[in-house]
Structure 1
């Protein structure tokens, strides 16, 4: 499962019917705007297509995760997004899909050898993880290599 693929039947419930999805996802992303402008979202058959400009690859990745972690979305396409600073998506960061029984402490132990560094994972995923105690199986997050 790549960065742009998600589990359609899990996630945060942001919209009811698919025709409500574009406006709901735009609002959701803009509420905690990770650095995107001119954002437009289209959704068809569980596939969200994002267009606009991201200030960086990190901003684009966050927008993709915000859209993809919504219930009803199975894929996010971002070919219509430009990246202002010229950075590349998927640079040094890794992406992790939370499994049943996972805790952020355990994820940080695996990634960094130190569970107390889970706060850094929360910090770089603040748009996706609103409460460190409320993560769910299937949720996709960024695991930065440099902390």
Structure 2
């Protein structure tokens, strides 16, 4: 089994969560994953890697996905809540609120069209 096949779920998860600039390339049996994303999504990917390779010692994966630091811009849609947005992005509503205190006065009141940052 190739490393790409072995880590297919991890690759699919990176695509599903919209890792920015994501790439997966295999050479000499070693798969390199790179890109940038939020801290929460990065942690989800690391957790998934540990499920596939519990000791993280197979040596067939280079995990070069970085935390984008400033966060990702997100435009609030009708029906959104901070909790719902957080669940979609692998973080907590509290982290989103803290990261956006300059634009969100009340965490229970966000509005369609409002642009927030996902840490």
**Structure of higher CA gyration radius:** 2
Q: Which has the higher helix share?
A: 2
What TM-score comes out, normalization by structure 1 length?
A: 0.33
